[in-house]
Amino acid sequence: MEKGKISSLQMAFMMYPTIVATAILGVPSITAKYAKTDLWLSPIFAALIGFLTVYIAYKLHQIYPKQTVFQFTEKIIGRIPGKIFGFLLLFFYIQNTGLILRAYAEFVVGSFLVRTPISVIMLSMILLCAFIVRGGVEVLGRSAELFVPVFIFPICILIILLIPDFDFKNIFPVLENGLMPPIKGAIIPGGWFSEFFLIIFLLPFLADMKKGMKSGMMTVFAVMMTLIVVNFLVLFVLGSTTPSKNYPLMNVSRYISLANFFEHVESAVMAVWIVGAFVKISVFYYASALGTAQWLNLSDYRPVVWPIGILIVIFSFWSLPNTMDVNRNDTSVFPLQGILMQTIIPLLLLVIAVVRKRNRKGTETSRMD
């Protein structure tokens, strides 16, 4: 079905923007509503979900190295329950790919291309991603390897240019109300960290399988540090007004002014968003197409790429009617849904798989005796 191979570094490059791209724009303000001045602590607690998710995915792959998540689920909990969970997982990924596409288009139209129909933005992105997905995991890995430096560079430039506007007093008081506010603020970004379960679709194609766990864990750490830095950046510039901003990183970028000449660098945030969204949508799209083919027991996933693309666009239009509902979904529905489907249920599957493996070994030992 997929004969391509990627390195563990390419997997890391695929997963890093997949998590960070959408998180750096809206999550700082969402986190600040709960954690206030301690919003920089929330990514540390949220990252624990990421570390756990990577561990679960890697261990499941170790137990069933040559099988997909849809195949080994049927072995763990039975054929019919496995098919039901596989369908729910596919629905989750296809729907959320549509919502990511919608959020991308809403941001682009709302902030820059105001008179451009949102359908044009969405269709052009999904068309580009479809060609990448049809190219296979190697093409996706190389694309991510090419675009990640373009993704990181504008963020570094933003940090350097905003240093004169920093007010370090905004960090105080630290832990005024204890640890609970930053822990509550970690629940929503925890939904983003649960997306690391996507490596279950990439691990079978690693050329250096032994580095899979290390690569995944290092990516979680890199994402955590990026979110901490972005939260500090927003906090030091916007202070107590952070919770009231929809896209605080965009607001922060408007503070940059060097000699009344170098201004209006919102385009840097736009570049980060477009590149990151492209990689993120492509990875979700690939998982949806590959998963659909595996669930249907097809020999190749490429014939379903275009139909899945149409479904993604349909979900992007029909799932949520307006921007307010998109934002409400990001804060109320997706985090809990994501943690349930990508961390809690896989953890239960891993526990059942380990117990069954031990029972099988115990039975074989008793037969030998």
Pick the residue with more confidence: 151 or 282? 282
Q: Report whether pLDDT(284) > 90.
A: yes
Average pLDDT on 200-209 reads 90
CATH number at residue 66: 1.20.1740.10
Within-domain flag for 124: yes
Within-domain flag for 3: no
pLDDT digits over 226-238, tens only? 999 999 999 998 8
Range of the domain at 227: 8-368
Q: In the structure, what pLDDT confidence band is assigned to residue 366 with cuts at 50, 70 and 90? A: low
pLDDT digits over 3-15, tens only? 788 999 999 999 9
**How many CB atoms are closer than 10 A to CB 127?**
12
Average pLDDT on 343-368 reads 82
pLDDT value at residue 260: 66
Within-domain flag for 114: yes
pLDDT value at residue 111: 75
Average pLDDT on 188-198 reads 93
Within-domain flag for 112: yes
Q: Indicate the average pLDDT of the chain.
A: 88
b/e 150-178 (16+ beta carbons within 10 angstroms → b):
ebbebbeebeebbeeeeeeebeeeeeeee
Contact 334, 99 (CB under 8 A): yes
Within-domain flag for 2: no
pLDDT digits over 70-88, tens only? 888 988 998 899 999 999 9
Cα–Cα distance between 163 and 32 in angstroms, integer? 21
Structure tokens at 49: 């979900």
Q: Report whether pLDDT(20) > 60.
A: yes
pLDDT value at residue 368: 59
Query: By percentage, how much of the chain surpasses pLDDT 90?
Result: 49
| C-alpha distances in Å from residue 76, one per residue of 69, 73, 82, 201, 339 | 10, 5, 8, 18, 20
Within-domain flag for 306: yes
HEC readout, the chain: CCCCCECHHHHHHHHHHHHHHHHHHHHHHHHHHHHHHHCCCHHHHHHHHHHHHHHHHHHHHHHCCCCCHHHHHHHHHCHHHHHHHHHHHHHHHHHHHHHHHHHHHHHHHHHCCCCCCHHHHHHHHHHHHHHHHHHCHHHHHHHHHHHHHHHHHHHHHHHHHHHHHCCHHHHCCCCCCCCHHHHHHHHHHHHHHHHHHHHHHCHHHECCHHHHHHHHHHHHHHHHHHHHHHHHHHHHHHHHHHHHCCCHHHHHHCCCEECCCEECCHHHHHHHHHHHHHHHHHHHHHHHHHHHHHHCCCCCCHHHHHHHHHHHHHHHHHCCCCHHHHHHHHHHHHHHHHHHHHHHHHHHHHHHHHHHHHHHHHHHHHHHC
pLDDT value at residue 266: 72
| C-alpha distances in Å from residue 262, one per residue of 238, 248, 255, 265 | 20, 20, 11, 8
Within-domain flag for 163: yes
Within-domain flag for 1: no
pLDDT digits over 160-171, tens only? 888 888 888 888
Number of domains within the chain: 1
Q: Of 347, 29, 41, give the one whose Cα is nearest residue 186.
A: 41
Cα–Cα distance between 186 and 190 in angstroms, integer? 6
pLDDT value at residue 9: 92
Write down the residue that tokens 């939260």 correspond to: 231
pLDDT value at residue 87: 94
| Cα-only R_g, the chain | 21
Q: Report whether pLDDT(259) > 70.
A: no
